[in-house]
Amino acid sequence: MSKTGIRGVSPRGSSIRIIFTWNGKRYFPTLKMEPTPANLEYAADLRREILRRIKVGAFNFSEFFPESPNAKKTDRSLFSDVAAAWLDSKRRNLAETTIGEYLATIGAYFSGKLGGMAMEDIGYLELDKLMCSLDVSNKTFNNILSVLRCIYAYGVDAGIVTVNHALKIGFAKIDDPTPDPLTIEEMSLVIRDMQQHYHEQIAIYFNLAFRIGFRPSEGIDLRWQNVDWQEKILRISTAKVRGVVKTTKTNKARLVELDDDSMALLKRLHQITGNAEYLLIAPVTGKPYPNTSYLVQKYWRPALARCNIRDRDARQTRHTCATMLLMGGSRDRWAAEQLGHSVEMFQKVYSKWLPKNDRRQELAKASAMFARMSDQIN
């Protein structure tokens, strides 16, 4: 503790000295201002902001102390500076939650090893070594690499580096999850469990997810203006991914036909959240969900565990809807339109759930047609 009683801040003649550690080196820059109580408090606030920037890998020495000799030593664009500039360029178009996630990624994986290095000194070998050292899932690996690629792309556009070395590192392979639908009995168990343990709208939401088959990212962005009560149709045109509203995965809106049970669920949900813009509102905050992770971790997975049902990703509600439509005898084309698939993709992913007797019926239809040809031959 300094003699001012403020950690890292002390008077130095007619100036104020700030002390902090950055990239393993201790710095003692001075502020040309009288060490009055008000100025000392200002210096303390400035130091706190410096420490915050250092923590997230966004500290730029020249920005805070342009006249310091150390500023000249750090004139070359550091990785942390470029990362901070890239984030600033995104703030207008991204939600704060998304910016926060990017900041966390930079702070957790890049700041310690790359933050204090001049970006032009970081080559492919350094980046590849860093990425190979990560002990994370393939999905997380790809998310981290995406941020790294964006930072380097910004560096190239800004003329700081000439090559995006991050593009030379390939994404990890992620296999699409195999459909692992729930049975009717399992669906019933899950919904009853949610009715007992959660706010009513949560059970309604997942009941609708089973019946309508929307993607989780689409479900959290559904709005009441998308419901056509007269025609019994739900328009799905957007999805929310990491706090950012986008078009659907196929970049196409779709109109989902609703049966009477789905309409009844929507009407009950409207009594709960109808005064809000979104169908689903967080019971605690009264706000829409920025992403799907909270719903999955707080509601979906605990319900499966309590019901002794094998753990699954929440996207299996969509797969369950698709297989139920098929086993119920729905036409491939209509079912594909309901879920926003091409017919070819729908058949490729779900055709094995067609009941065997239905397949035999289809074969019987073909046989009947060929029988007419046989009659003519004979």
Shared domain check, 149 and 189: no
Q: Check: CB of residue 143 under 8 Å from CB of residue 116.
A: no
The verdict on residue 178 lying in a domain is: no
**If 0-12 CB within 10 Å is exposed, 13-18 middle and 19+ buried, where does residue 93 land?**
exposed
Which pLDDT score is estimated for 374? 54
Q: Check: CB of residue 324 under 8 Å from CB of residue 355.
A: no
Residue ranges making up the domain that contains 95: 79-168
Shared domain check, 230 and 333: yes
Q: Write phi, then psi, for 125 (nearest 5 degrees).
A: -60, -40
Pairing relation of β-strands 9-12 and 244-247?
unpaired
Shared domain check, 153 and 239: no
* Residue 9 CA to its chain's centroid (Å): 40
Shared domain check, 122 and 206: no
Shared domain check, 293 and 223: yes
Q: Check: CB of residue 166 under 8 Å from CB of residue 148.
A: yes
Whether this prediction's pTM lies above 0.75 is answered by: no
Shared domain check, 190 and 317: yes
Alpha-carbon gap, residue 55 to 203, rounded angstroms: 41
Total domains in the chain come to: 2
Q: Which two tokens stand for residue 192?
A: 């009853």
Domain edge (last residue) among 168, 193, 216: 168
203: part of which helix (H) or strand (E)?
helix 200-212
Q: Mean pLDDT, consecutive 10-residue segments, the chain of 378 residues?
A: 72 90 83 91 92 78 76 68 89 76 90 87 92 89 93 89 92 79 93 95 95 93 96 92 78 90 95 94 88 91 96 92 84 88 84 62 63 58
Read off the CATH number of the domain in which 270 is found. Answer: 1.10.443.10
Shared domain check, 234 and 149: no
Shared domain check, 211 and 111: no
Shared domain check, 201 and 348: yes
Comparing CA positions, the residue from 126, 45, 146, 46 lying closest to residue 86 is 146
The verdict on residue 293 lying in a domain is: yes
Shared domain check, 254 and 106: no
* Residue 229 CA to its chain's centroid (Å): 31
Shared domain check, 349 and 205: yes
Alpha-carbon gap, residue 88 to 7, rounded angstroms: 30
Which residue type does 329 have? G
Domain edge (last residue) among 168, 192, 226: 168
* Residue 192 CA to its chain's centroid (Å): 29
- b/e map of 254-288 (b: 16 or more CB within 10 Å)? bbbebeeebeebbeebeebbeeeebbbbbeeeeeb
Alpha-carbon gap, residue 48 to 33, rounded angstroms: 18
Which pLDDT score is estimated for 57? 66
The verdict on residue 255 lying in a domain is: yes
The verdict on residue 6 lying in a domain is: no
Shared domain check, 195 and 153: no
Read off the CATH number of the domain in which 92 is found. Answer: 1.10.150.130
